[in-house]
Amino acid sequence: MNGKNTFASLRIIRLTGLFYLIVIICAGFSQGYVRGTLIIPDNAVATANNIMQNKGLFELGLTMDLVAFLMDAVIAVMLYQIFKPFNKTLAMMSSVFRLIAHPAIGSINLLNHYMAMKVFDIHQLTGSFSIEQLQEMSSIFMVAHHYGYLIAGGFFGIHCILFGILIYKSNVFPNFFGGLLLGSGAGYLIETFGNFNFPGYEFYTALIVGIAAALGEVGITIYMLTKGTIVSYKRLKKLT
């Protein structure tokens, strides 16, 4: 590995960690704070009132989500660059699942988030439907957004599992993180398939994926941004 490629590999690892941190902050804010605060399950009236009284916050949540999804597209390419020397096919599959999950499905699903607020501003709707009907319509959009989020999570779960396998195969990062990411992937899949097929346990599936994602994704992000970057770079230098 020449000096130019060595520097590029080290820079990619660091930038991947930085962009991953941006994703965690943005997605955590939009999903955990904005929707977690404004959306009241099974209460269309309260949810609609919260959205209309906090339109700026609701719009900011959409913006932060979009930023996270744009960063995810970059991360997918960078992870492919890191792992392709060890298993090009597996690295490509992992990156494709990440691209489909959030940059594709997640971004399109933001239309549901947007329309949950927009229905109160469209003249044709406000003139034809009562406020109660508009509130129900807004609630339906948020329910659609929630299930769209779950569908994206299914693809992202597969990505995390493949990411974990790549760590084991490449040894670029400690195998410990491979195990954590396998757990993260399982958590996303449990939430997706559990909520679709076994409704009523949403609190528990959300708790599972929250803990699993925190351990796996936050852990690998911190590792890439700290001294772990140098360790991974040295391993990459030896292995490529």
DSSP per-residue letters across the chain:
--HHHHHHHHHHHHHHHHHHHHHHHHHIIIIIIIIHHH--TT-HHHHHHHHHHTHHHHHHHHHHHHHHHHHHHHHHHHHHHHHTTT-HHHHHHHHHHHHIIIIIIIHHHHHHHHHHHHTTT-HHHHTTS-HHHHHHHHHHHHHHHHHHHHHHHHHHHHHHHHHHHHHHHH-SS-HHHHHHHHHHHHHHHHHHHHHHHSTT-HHHHHHHHHHHHIIIIIHHHHHHHSTHHHHHHHHHHHH-
Name which of 104-113, 157-166, 167-176 the model is least confident about.
167-176
Q: Domain ranges in the chain?
A: 3-239
Task: Provide the pLDDT for residue 4.
Answer: 40
pLDDT in tens, 91-115: 999 999 999 999 999 999 999 999 9
Confidence of residue 235 (pLDDT cuts 50, 70, 90): low
Answer whether 0.85 is exceeded by the pTM: yes
